[in-house]
Each structure stands twice: as C-alpha cells, then as structure tokens.
Amino acid sequence: MKKVVLLILLAGLTAQAQVTVDSLQFGRFGKVMLYSQTAKPSRVIIFVSGDGGWNLGVVDMAKEVASQNALVAGIDIIHYLKQLDNSPEPCSYPAADFEALSQYMQKKLDLPEYIMPILIGYSSGATLVYAILAQAPPNTFAAAISMGFCPDLPVTKPFCKGSGLSFEKGPKGKGYNFLPTNTLTEPWIAFQGLIDQVCNAKDVDNFVKKVKNAELVQLPKVGHGFAVYRNWMPQFRQTLKRISTLTDTASAVSNDPSPVSIKDLPLVELPPSGPNVDLMAVIVSGDGGWANIDRTMGEYFASQGIPVVGLNSLKYFWKRRTPDSAAIDLERIIDHYKSLWKKDRVLLVGYSRGADVLPFMANRLPENVKKDVIGVALLGLEDSVDFQFHLSDWLGGGSSKNALPVKPEVDKLKGMNVLCFYGRDEDNSLCLRLDTTRVKAIATKGGHHFGGDYNSIARTIIDYVGR
C-alpha cells in the first residue's frame, strides 16, 4: 500500500514539474499567475486564493489542477477584494471582472476556441466563487468548486444581486454573509473536510442542501488546509471530469436526423413551452456570448410557442469569419431547424455584434431561404463590425482595420420587416440614420442594454411580425 501511495505522489510531482508558469496584468486583479501544460487546454480554470494570498499551498494546488490538461489563472484575493472595496461603484459585481479576465487571457494566449471557465476557490476564495456563480447570468461560467467554504466574506461594500445573489450583514456589521440561492443553472460543488476547524461541516451541509444545483463532497480526512493531496485529489479529478461531461452535454445540439449538419456551430436550443406556432427564431447573441438579454428574449419567445436556436457570437467569431461564410452557416441553421421543428416561417434577431453582422448574413441568404424570413430585429446596432473578435473589443480600443460599414447592408434588406431598437440614452444611434421606409426604429428606455426590459422588446417583435 505504501508503494502505491508513493507512486501516486511521484506521479503528481512529475505532472507538476511539467507545468509552465507565466503571468499577465489585468484590471483589478493586478498580477495574474498562469499555469498550463499545453497550448491547447481542454479546460480553463480561474483559481482564487484564500486569505493567505497567492503563495504556498494554493500555488501547488493550481499546478496540480493545471496538470489535468487545464489552463489555470491564479487570483490573489487579498489584492482583488481591496480593489473592489476601493472602487466607486455602490455595489460590487465581480462576475463581470472574472468573465472579462477569462475572455482577455484566452484571446491573448490565442486559444483556438473560447472555453467557458470553471471557478475554483479556496477558503475565502471558496466564498467568492460561490457569490460570483450566483451573481452571474447563466452560461457565463461552467461551474464553481468551493474548497473549505464558509458563507461570510470580509468586504466593506455589498455585492450587486445580479441574477440571484442574496446576502445579509455580518455579525456586528462586519462583512457580509451570503445566503443560499435557488437560481443556479450551473453546478456548484462544495468540497468540505469533515475535520475542518474553521468552516463547520454540518453548517456547510445545511447550506448546500438549500442551494439549487449544488452538491457536497465530504472529505473524512481533510481539514481546512487541504494539505494532503491524496485525501481529496481523486475526488477532485472525478468532479472536474464530470463537469466537463456536463458542459459538453449542455452545449450539444439536437442530433435528430437532418440533411444538414450543424454540429460544428456553437448553438443553444430553446424548445417551445407555449402553444404551437408556425414560426421559429434564430438569435445571434452579443459579444458576451449567450448572456442575459439573449437568454431572456429566447425564453420569452419559447413561452409564446416559438422555438429558438441561438448562435453564440463569442464562440462563433472567436476565429475569423466572412460575411459569405457566416451567411452559409445561417442558411445551415435555418435549414436544419425548419426541418427539425417543422416550421415554415423564420424570425431573425441580433443583439449588439449579433445585430451588426445579421444584415450581412441575411442579405447573402439564397432567395428560397429569404422568402421564409418574415422579420429581422436589430438591437443595439453599431456603425461598423469586424467578423472576428479582438482584445480591443473588450478594452474599448475602437474599430479594427477590417471593420465593415453596417448601414449599406441594412439598406439592402428588402421585404423582411426590419426593426431597429435603440436606447434613448444612446448617442447618435444608427437606427435613427436608416431609411424609415425600410426600417422601423423603436426607442426604448436605457442605453445599450435597454434598461433590462427584454421581455417588452420580445413582445414588440412578436406583435410586429405576427405569429
């Protein structure tokens, strides 16, 4: 038995020795440590330290995790929480910071495709990643793993509630205690040592039982330090593998027989939950991927009996596309789902970058496909668009040299009932500079995110094009 344990330890040390270490600077995170074994990882993980900062034990943990074919970004929670508390916002929204970091580092490292990150946190980092997962819109993170979880965090500023985070003031008004949420759509797994003297195992068990889509992994020989790998690493590896399987299953599209294959496209399906309607919708998302506005509108369409297929722009435009190739892919999507769902009429909807590229794609559809498109809804339209994402898209660096003007393409749309939605707070929206005989411009409250009133926009679209 001792020989077996020794072999396991030696294997772990060998794997760690093969991990390369790098770093980058990004926003509130400051210096982010990077650990990887390969240029093409199958997993991306953002690992948040405990109160001791990014050193000693968490460094070894990160290297061990990186040996599981993962790119690991190491976050010093001491530095990050200080930046959050010193920021001018009335409430903290770390979900946006972590999503932006994931996008930035994956593009900077030239990963061949975007991988939805897994969040891992130790001790106070375990608390933070739970809060981020509860706060974030669905489909932002693949999962979160908390190692040594307590529900309290020593911050002076409250967190924004986001999609489902709730909390209360800590004892004597210090910090905040996060509460169980019933809104999680991605898994949260708590690894809890049964001999943990910091976070009570029974309290954690009770907390996890109240959280939707949560799981508790109890570790009999583990305390708060997670110092002995053999007492938790086998369960951890199994969990990582299971999360990857769940993510692959969730992102898989229907495999019903069809004359057209669409398995290479990053699609999301929303089957109808309302009365049957002879209409389907294709939603091309914004550059944040299949996020809140796309999901909310899609769910509303589905509730009205309109099945939806969403194209994740973040993943699709991760590599360069052209207007012609994107139009061919849109044709494939329409042909596949018209056959699968037995629908004759098609509604096209695009938000932000999705709105910018959609006129190019719709104009290049074959005539026999165009005739079935009864409406094109463009939300948050910009003047120009590039058919590939760049780091400057997230950092406000302006238009790329390959950007194409959008207005001429919108002007070419004929017979498709074009709607252009803009927020009243937007300055000089392209919607107001389009031919009113071809396009109906509709003002909404707010700015580029329309004040969050996505159901009203979806309702307006349906009323305009009819069912």
CATH number for the domain whose boundaries are 16-249:
3.40.50.1820
Residue-wise pLDDT for 330-385, tens only, equals: 999 999 999 999 999 999 999 999 999 999 999 999 999 999 999 999 999 999 99
Angle at 29 between CA 60 and CA 105, to 5 degrees: 80
From 171-185, 244-258, 276-290, 438-452, the region with the lowest mean pLDDT: 244-258
Structure tokens at 98: 């972590």
pLDDT of res. 116: 93
Tell me the mean pLDDT in the region 149-175.
92
Tell me the mean pLDDT in the region 235-246.
87
Instruction: Classify domain 267-465 at the CATH topology level.
Output: Rossmann fold (3.40.50)
Residue-wise pLDDT for 106-135, tens only, equals: 999 999 999 999 999 999 999 999 999 999
pLDDT of res. 174: 83
pLDDT confidence of 295, banded at 50, 70, 90? confident
pLDDT of res. 3: 42
Domain spans, the chain = 16-249, 267-465
Structure tokens at 285: 């998302």
Tell me the mean pLDDT in the region 452-464.
93
pLDDT of res. 56: 84
Identity (one letter) of the amino acid at 48? Answer: V
Task: Please name the residue ranges forming H helices in 279-403.
Answer: 292-303, 313-316, 323-341, 353-363, 367-370, 391-395
Residue tagged 């529900």 (tokens): 151
387: which residues sit within 8 A by CB, 6+ positions away? 317, 320, 321, 322, 323, 326, 357, 360, 402, 404
pLDDT of res. 7: 40
Residue-wise pLDDT for 249-275, tens only, equals: 555 555 554 555 788 899 989 999 878
